[in-house]
Amino acid sequence: MNPLGVRCANLQNRSVLNGDPTSFAETHTRSRVRIPNQSSRLSKGAARWRFFLILEVFDSMSQAIVVQTTISSSANAEKLAETIIQHAQGACVQIVGPMISVYKWQGTIQKEEEFLVSIKTTSQAFPSLAELIRQHHTYDVPEIIAIPIVDGSSEYLEWVAQSVT
């Protein structure tokens, strides 16, 4: 298993580079990729193929993602979490904090206590979830990022997909 747990084709088999990447990725999504360390050398062509194949596999896997945002208070985080679940835009929302965020805003370094809101959802629901977050968020520019779930319990990922409309 590679350090990232990414399902993909084993690109050490250089014969891949002579074939069609789309059909290869579709037929090899169950094998594991060996992510070369920095001392490994791939040709530019091999690197492009590796990138393409990983993207193909992400498209063909479960569309589960984790969306993260930060918010200023526990009460606001809980209110946002309930709104997300009520609108079926997330299967589960976790709130972590308080934590300290350090960032630059309008030329000044800021240090604020925040709460991390982590939402399990699907890539299909992301556009409407992002809009829902914007509508109910107190920040001018809220953090709204999506992180792909590259592997996980099939039962859990199925539950996530069924819980989100």
Domain with residue 109: its CATH number is: 3.30.70.120
The pLDDT of residue 133 is above 70: yes
Residue 75 or residue 56, greater confidence: 75
The pLDDT of residue 29 is above 70: no
Q: What are phi and psi of 46, to 5 degrees?
A: -65, -40
- Both 159 and 135 in a single domain? yes
Count of domains observed in the chain? 2
Please, which pLDDT band fits residue 13 given cuts at 50, 70 and 90?
Answer: very low
The pLDDT of residue 91 is above 60: yes
- Both 42 and 68 in a single domain? no
Question: Which is it for strands 145-148 and 108-122: parallel, antiparallel or unpaired?
Answer: unpaired
- Both 55 and 78 in a single domain? no
Residue 120 or residue 61, greater confidence: 120
Which of 39, 60, 81 lies at the terminal end of a domain, its last residue? 60
The pLDDT of residue 87 is above 80: yes
State pLDDT tens for residues 45-56: 555 555 555 554
- Both 29 and 92 in a single domain? no
Q: What percent of the chain has pLDDT above 90?
A: 59
Name the residue type at position 143.
Answer: E
Which of 5, 30, 60 lies at the terminal end of a domain, its last residue? 60
Across the range 97-110, mean pLDDT stands at 95
Please, which pLDDT band fits residue 165 given cuts at 50, 70 and 90?
Answer: confident
- Both 69 and 55 in a single domain? no
5 is a domain residue: no
Mean pLDDT (the chain) is: 77
The pLDDT of residue 31 is above 70: no
1 is a domain residue: no
The string of DSSP letters for 53-104 reads HHHHHHHHS--EEEEEEEES-HHHHHHHHHHHHHTTS-SEEEEEEEEEEEEE
2 is a domain residue: no
C-alpha closest to that of 129 among 79, 78, 77, 164: 164
- Both 84 and 133 in a single domain? yes
The pLDDT of residue 134: 97
Please, which pLDDT band fits residue 11 given cuts at 50, 70 and 90?
Answer: very low
3 is a domain residue: no
- Both 52 and 116 in a single domain? no
- Both 50 and 73 in a single domain? no
| Domain interval for residue 117 | 64-163
- Both 48 and 121 in a single domain? no
